[in-house]
Chains A and B, each alone.
Chain A
Amino acid sequence: MSSTLKLAWRNLTRYRRRTLLTALLIMLGVMALLLFVAAAGSFKQTMIGSITDSMLGHLQIHRRGYTASIDNLPLNLNLQPNAVGKIESALKAEPEIAAYSLRVKLGAMFSNFTENTSVRLNGIDPVAEDSTVPALRQRINDGDRTGPLVAPGKVLIPTLIARGMKVKVGDAVVLVVTNASGSVNGKNFVVSGILDGVTGPGGRDGYIHIDDARDLLRMDKPEVMEVAVRLKSLKSLAAMQQRLNARLDEIQNKEGKPATELHLWSDLSPFANIVRMIDMMTLFIRIMLVAIVLVSVMNVMLMAVYERIREIGTLAAIGTQPGKLMAIFLAEGLLLGLAGAAAGIALSYALVGYLNLNPVVFAFGREQITLRPVLELAEVAGVLGLAVLVSALASLQPAWRAARMDPIQALRHV
């Protein structure tokens, strides 16, 4: 094996410029793919982190039918205390769950005593919410970031409303809501913080204490509209979805059907479509890499076979088995792909290192994204494997041709 590789390597150095150019092409293809994957991965992680850590959580549980009309913030599709208890038991039984937060969601009229606007509000338990969406606190751009997220009688309002209504931290405001039975209720609040908006649903919501929300809605039972859940690792999301679905299916309504529904962050955020688009672009770049490696290696190997026809005849005449001849040419293609891919990977690591020392910052919607690309070992191994596999495939036909060559015809070739 080593002698075949040694001979293959020597043959590659026979036409150095051609080998170098082909390896360069493969290197550029590998670099393009790895850098795109690393940068897009960083962008995805930043955005997913922003969405899940500051707003949605990793997954959410609602009463069946709630998410279909979530834009209207319905008050008649609440999770009843009995169901909430069962959900909490199910969540506590899963060690992979880091935290969960019960939310009362409502729409309200926001008044600064001179003008009104509508606002979407989340009634939260500040401790549970802080554990479930730890980056929410970082969105407070004006106000106390160190104390409880929101205390009774206080409200966190989104920047857009603060600007539009000319409201500052410490100002008194009134929130007026209409409850499920149609009666109107209002209450005074003090603005305790202004929140930066983030992309996606809930990115422009305000926050009040859950007791205040229930008080405003005149709830006589501790009902909730939403349970946001945070996992210890996002990697266990799919498995957790499966396990939780099995547990939650046991909570049934009067018709004997599951009373709850579970959604992943990707089901709730339109950013999931951008993630799918990025994945699609990665696939296209991967296909381009395959095409580059396939065409360049096949071209070089076809040329190599054509230029060495007499040599192939000689090697065959002195007893080299067709399989061995095939192996020599296959090894050449493999080494070419391996060398190009290895150079591409090395340069990608260097560039990713540079980009981490000098990060690229750009605006995405209302957010400033700082790219800190990371090359995952599995991705690097996958790209290397792909390049080597495609190189082997590209060399297969020329190598087969060399192995099947008639020695007499080959020896006669001029």
Chain B
Amino acid sequence: MALIQADNITKSYRVGDMNVPALKGLSFEIGEGAFAAFVGPSGSGKTTLLNLLGCLDHPSSGTLKVNGTDISTLSRSVAATFRGENLGFIFQDFNLVPVLSAYENIEYPLLMVRGWSPEKRRERVEKMIAAVGMTEHAHKRPDQLSGGQKQRVAVARALVGEPKLVLADEPTANLDHDTAYRILELMKSMRDSFGTSFIFSTHDPKIMGEAELTFTLEDGRLVRQGGEACPPR
């Protein structure tokens, strides 16, 4: 069974009296353990699509299933529960909580979202912090870390709850070239270690080359999947 099944999904926004379409009938499937990228220029619909996959927004029409659950119509609190149990997020600006240490940032989803016991949390957080190579910086706060270190912490936070899928919106946009590659390598190794699927968005052609599967979006339409052009709908 595919991890993600999108069937003719659309999304439009109301701007004044106008209905502005952001996604125009997208259909695709992504399997488990994928390392996929949504690519395309700014305004092509990458972030909108990631928001739908992340249960942060609802499609205007169509069906969207993640891990077998139809997430098209989830209520606010059910969507939050679904995100907490099945998804991880990595953001362009890292979005770590500034008053928490690296260790506490990674621990946050287990403590405040999943409610794990202290022993189970400690074991898991220590494993993840070691996996991203941040053990010696565990007690530093975000303002004491470099951009690459922050993103490593963000990767560990996204993975700590053992999600099926991690969504990353332009995860390397605020990093220098070398660091960006190291973060992508880290994400790939995490996928290999934990079997978690990664989907990220980028408009950087060099970065998109690191993806094993690419979906090219243009003006809200899926124009190419992998090397093959998609038929217009």
Within A281-326, the residues touching B (CB, 8 Å) are: 310-311, 313-324
Chain A residues, CB < 8 A from B85: 319
A86 interfacial by beta-carbon distance below 8 Å:
no
State the CA gap A7–B104 with chains docked (Å): 10
Within A396-414, the residues touching B (CB, 8 Å) are: 407-408, 411
* B95-A319 in contact (CB<8A): no
A10 interfacial by beta-carbon distance below 8 Å:
yes
- Assuming the contacts A408-B56, A411-B91, asked whether A318 and B99 have C-beta atoms less than 8 A apart, the reply is no
Chain A residues, CB < 8 A from B97: 311, 314-315
* A10-B113 in contact (CB<8A): no
B200 interfacial by beta-carbon distance below 8 Å:
no
B40 interfacial by beta-carbon distance below 8 Å:
no
B108 interfacial by beta-carbon distance below 8 Å:
yes
* A3-B89 in contact (CB<8A): no
State the CA gap A319–B112 with chains docked (Å): 9
B98 interfacial by beta-carbon distance below 8 Å:
yes
A92 interfacial by beta-carbon distance below 8 Å:
no
State the CA gap A10–B108 with chains docked (Å): 14
Query: In the complex, what's the smallest C-beta–C-beta distance from A240 to chain B, in angstroms?
Result: 56
Chain A residues, CB < 8 A from B77: 321-323
Chain B residues, CB < 8 A from A11: 99
State the CA gap A35–B112 with chains docked (Å): 42
* B99-A319 in contact (CB<8A): no
- Assuming the contacts A3-B112, A411-B91, asked whether A321 and B81 have C-beta atoms less than 8 A apart, the reply is yes
Chain B residues, CB < 8 A from A322: 76-77, 80
Chain B residues, CB < 8 A from A319: 80-85, 87, 109, 113-114, 161
Query: In the complex, what's the smallest C-beta–C-beta distance from B55 to chain A, in angstroms?
Result: 9
Q: Interface digits, B51-65 against A, CB 8 Å rule (1 contact, 0 not)?
A: 100101100000000
B100 interfacial by beta-carbon distance below 8 Å:
yes
* A317-B112 in contact (CB<8A): no
B111 interfacial by beta-carbon distance below 8 Å:
yes
State the CA gap A319–B163 with chains docked (Å): 12
Query: In the complex, what's the smallest C-beta–C-beta distance from B83 to chain A, in angstroms?
Result: 4
B188 interfacial by beta-carbon distance below 8 Å:
no
Query: In the complex, what's the smallest C-beta–C-beta distance from A411 to chain B, in angstroms?
Result: 7
* B89-A317 in contact (CB<8A): yes
Chain A residues, CB < 8 A from B100: 7, 10
A243 interfacial by beta-carbon distance below 8 Å:
no
Query: In the complex, what's the smallest C-beta–C-beta distance from B13 to chain A, in angstroms?
Result: 11
Q: Interface digits, B109-133 against A, CB 8 Å rule (1 contact, 0 not)?
A: 1011110000000000000000000
Interface size class of B (residues with CB under 8 A): 20 to 34
State the CA gap A11–B98 with chains docked (Å): 9
Q: Which residue from A14, A316, A408 sits with its C-beta under 8 Å from B99?
A: A14
State the CA gap A7–B101 with chains docked (Å): 11
Q: Interface digits, B69-84 against A, CB 8 Å rule (1 contact, 0 not)?
A: 0000000110011111
Q: Is the interface of A mostly helix, strand, loop or mixed?
A: helix
* B157-A318 in contact (CB<8A): yes
A13 interfacial by beta-carbon distance below 8 Å:
yes
Chain B residues, CB < 8 A from A411: 56, 91, 95
Name the residue of chain B whose CB is nearest to the CB of A324. Answer: B112
Name the residue of chain A whose CB is nearest to the CB of B97. Answer: A311
Chain B residues, CB < 8 A from A407: 56
Chain A residues, CB < 8 A from B113: 318-321, 324
Q: Is the interface of B mostly helix, strand, loop or mixed?
A: helix
* A10-B89 in contact (CB<8A): no
Query: In the complex, what's the smallest C-beta–C-beta distance from A4 to chain B, in angstroms?
Result: 8
State the CA gap A354–B111 with chains docked (Å): 47
State the CA gap A319–B51 with chains docked (Å): 14
Query: In the complex, what's the smallest C-beta–C-beta distance from A137 to chain B, in angstroms?
Result: 66
Query: In the complex, what's the smallest C-beta–C-beta distance from A316 to chain B, in angstroms?
Result: 7
State the CA gap A316–B77 with chains docked (Å): 10
Q: Interface digits, B141-180 against A, CB 8 Å rule (1 contact, 0 not)?
A: 0000000000000000110010000000000000000000
* B99-A13 in contact (CB<8A): yes
Query: In the complex, what's the smallest C-beta–C-beta distance from B142 to chain A, in angstroms?
Result: 11
* A318-B109 in contact (CB<8A): yes
Chain A residues, CB < 8 A from B161: 319
Chain A residues, CB < 8 A from B84: 318-321
State the CA gap A64–B159 with chains docked (Å): 86
Q: Which residue from A4, A315, A317, A320 sits with its C-beta under 8 Å from B56?
A: A317
Query: In the complex, what's the smallest C-beta–C-beta distance from B1 to chain A, in angstroms?
Result: 23
State the CA gap A353–B112 with chains docked (Å): 44
Chain A residues, CB < 8 A from B56: 317, 407-408, 411
* A317-B99 in contact (CB<8A): no
Chain B residues, CB < 8 A from A311: 95, 97-98
Name the residue of chain A whose CB is nearest to the CB of B87. Answer: A319
Query: In the complex, what's the smallest C-beta–C-beta distance from A400 to chain B, in angstroms?
Result: 14
Chain B residues, CB < 8 A from A318: 83-84, 88-89, 108-109, 113, 157-158
Query: In the complex, what's the smallest C-beta–C-beta distance from A310 to chain B, in angstroms?
Result: 7
Query: In the complex, what's the smallest C-beta–C-beta distance from B79 to chain A, in angstroms?
Result: 9
Query: In the complex, what's the smallest C-beta–C-beta distance from A121 to chain B, in angstroms?
Result: 77
Chain A residues, CB < 8 A from B54: 317
Chain B residues, CB < 8 A from A314: 89, 91, 95, 97
**17 CB < 8 A contacts A-B:** A10-B99, A310-B93, A311-B98, A315-B108, A316-B80, A317-B56, A317-B83, A318-B157, A319-B82, A319-B114, A320-B80, A321-B80, A322-B76, A324-B113, A408-B51, A411-B91, A411-B95
Can you list the 10 inter-chain pairs with the closest CB atoms, starting with the nearest? A319-B84, A10-B99, A314-B95, A319-B113, A319-B83, A407-B56, A317-B89, A321-B80, A408-B56, A3-B111
Q: A10-B100, A411-B95 are in contact. List 15 more A-B contacts (CB 8 A).
A: A3-B112, A4-B112, A310-B93, A317-B83, A318-B83, A318-B84, A318-B108, A319-B81, A319-B87, A320-B80, A321-B113, A322-B76, A408-B51, A408-B56, A408-B57
